[in-house]
Amino acid sequence: MDLKIQMQRARATSFASYTGNLGLLLLWHILHLLVRLWYFLLWMVCVLESYLISGGILKKYKALNVGKLRYLAIVVESEEAYETSKVIELLQWLEAIGVKRVCLYDTEGVLKKSKEVILTKLKNAVVYEDGYQDESLVDQIRMSVEFCSFSDGKEAITKAANLLFVKYLKLATLPGDHEEKIFTEPHMDDALKAIGGRGPDPDLLLVYGPARCHLGFPAWRMRYTEIVHMGQLMHMRYGSLIKAIYRFTTVRQNYGK
């Protein structure tokens, strides 16, 4: 009799446990569905807004003060960087908007290999290091494009560190007492400038790709940079680009000292 009661209790416990697990699983699927539905609705709203901006229906986006965007960085995930036609289309949009200086970055340097192809499709565009530092050329050149990759930043840091090492090694050989040298950010910044690895800081950095990160873009060039994830390159939209630039130009920026 006791054995029968114990078996009934065990079955009841097993059934309750199974029902509880099934309920939790069902709850998880419901929450997952609600989250997916919410993000789908947000995506639909963004797509609709993008088309309204592109069509000129939302009037406020026409008042675009591009002059506040002095330097724009575009970070593209390396696999998507092979879509050269998409990159060219994106640059043509920026050229039409009036953006003067653009930095194209991908981790593996795919865009650097396609530099000639990209530049031939743009009107009056030059590579940044080929002379756009001269401000007198601003009116003649519609856009300057800088091409960089992860290896550029790695090489720059290595050269800057070696420069600092040689500099303080020479000081250590001089007679007299020497205090311990501690490398700070200003020291590294000066070293990067000395070797030519200290490019301009982008005001705005747009990331195209599945990852929501800067994908190795040189950290010393992002001290005051606004970063916006734009989604995948193959799904890029002109209205979303306008919106990102517009939001940057309308935000008040306070730089600390």
**Burial class of residue 159, CB neighbours in 10 A (0-12, 13-18, 19+):** middle
Distance CA 118, CA 107 (A): 18
Q: Which has the closest alpha carbon to 202: 188, 215, 219, 184?
A: 219
The per-residue pLDDT for range 152-195, each reduced to its tens digit, is 777 777 777 777 777 777 766 666 555 656 667 777 777 777 76
Query: Which residues are registered as beta bridge partners of 226?
Result: 204
- Average pLDDT on 62-90 reads 91
> Looking at residue 39, what is its pLDDT?
85
SS3 73: strand
Q: Which has the closest alpha carbon to 216: 147, 148, 150, 151?
A: 150
Residues 6+ apart with CB under 8 A from 142: 95, 100, 122, 123, 124, 125
SS3 74: strand
- Average pLDDT on 5-31 reads 73
pTM of the entire structure?
0.75
